[in-house]
Amino acid sequence: MPNHMFSAACSNSPSSSTNLLWSFLWIPLLISLSIELPYVNAQSSIIMLPTEPDSEAAFPSSPRCLAPDANLNFRPVIGILSHPGDGASGRLKNGTGVSYIAASYVKFVESAGARVVPLVYTDHPGVLLRVWVKDQNFLGLNICCKQNIWLTALSDSSSGRKLDLVNGVLFTGGSAKSGLYFDVVGLIFKKVLEKNDAGQFFPCYAICLGFELLAMVVSKDNNILERFNASYMASTLQFVEGTSIEGTVFERFPPDLLRKLNTECLVMQNHKYGISPGTLRGNQRLSCFFNILTTSADEDDKVYVSTAQAHHYPITAFQWHPEKNAFEWGYSMIPHSEDAVQVTQNVANFFIRKKTG
Which residues are CB-contacts of 118 (< 8 A; sequence separation ≥ 6)?
79, 80, 82, 101
Tell me: pLDDT of 137 over 70: no
Is the residue at 287 inside a domain?
A: yes
* Residue 288: active-site member: no
Please pick, among 83, 204, 208, 265, the residue that the annotation labels catalytic: 208
Q: Kindly report, residue by residue over 278-334, the tens digit of the pLDDT.
A: 999 999 999 999 999 999 999 999 999 999 999 999 999 999 999 999 999 999 999
In the prediction, which pLDDT does 34 show? 62
Res 48: pLDDT: 57
Residue 71 lies in a domain: no
**H helix runs in the chain, sequence order:** 3-11, 14-44, 103-110, 125-128, 179-197, 209-219, 255-263, 277-282, 284-289, 324-327, 338-351
Compute the distance between CA of residue 53 and CA of residue 47 in angstroms, rounded to an integer.
10
Q: What is the pLDDT of residue 131?
A: 46
Which CATH number covers residue 262?
Answer: 3.40.50.880
Domain around 158: 77-351
Residue 64 lies in a domain: no
Residue 126 pLDDT greater than 80, yes or no: no
- 52 assigned to some structural domain: no
**What is the Cβ-side half-sphere exposure of residue 142, based on CA atoms within 13 angstroms?**
4
- Strand 115-119 and strand 77-81: the pairing is parallel
Specify the long-range contacts of residues 218-224, CB closer than 8 Å, at least 24 apart. 218/285, 218/286, 218/289, 218/290, 219/283, 219/285, 219/286, 220/140, 220/285, 221/283, 222/177, 222/178, 224/275, 224/279, 224/283, 224/286
Share of the chain above pLDDT 90, in %: 61
Report the pLDDT value the prediction gives residue 69, as an integer from 0 to 100.
73
For residue 44, is it within any domain? no
Has residue 21 been placed in a domain?
no
Which residue in the list 83, 265, 271, 321 is annotated as catalytic?
321
For residue 347, being part of any structural domain is answered with yes
Model pLDDT, residue 31: 65
What is the tens place of the pLDDT at every residue in 206-257? 999 999 999 999 999 999 999 999 999 999 999 999 989 999 999 999 999 9
Active site residue 83: no
Query: How far apart are alpha carbons 81 and 75 in whole angstroms?
Result: 20
pTM beyond 0.85, yes or no: no
- Work out whether strand 77-81 and strand 169-171 pair parallel, antiparallel, or are unpaired: parallel
Which is nearest to 317 in space by CA: 121, 185, 176, 180? 185
Q: Please indicate, yes or no, if residue 307 is contained in any of the structural domains.
A: yes
Nearest-angstrom CA–CA distance, 167 and 78? 6
How many distinct structural domains can be found in the chain?
A: 1
In this predicted structure, what is the pLDDT of residue 133? Answer: 43
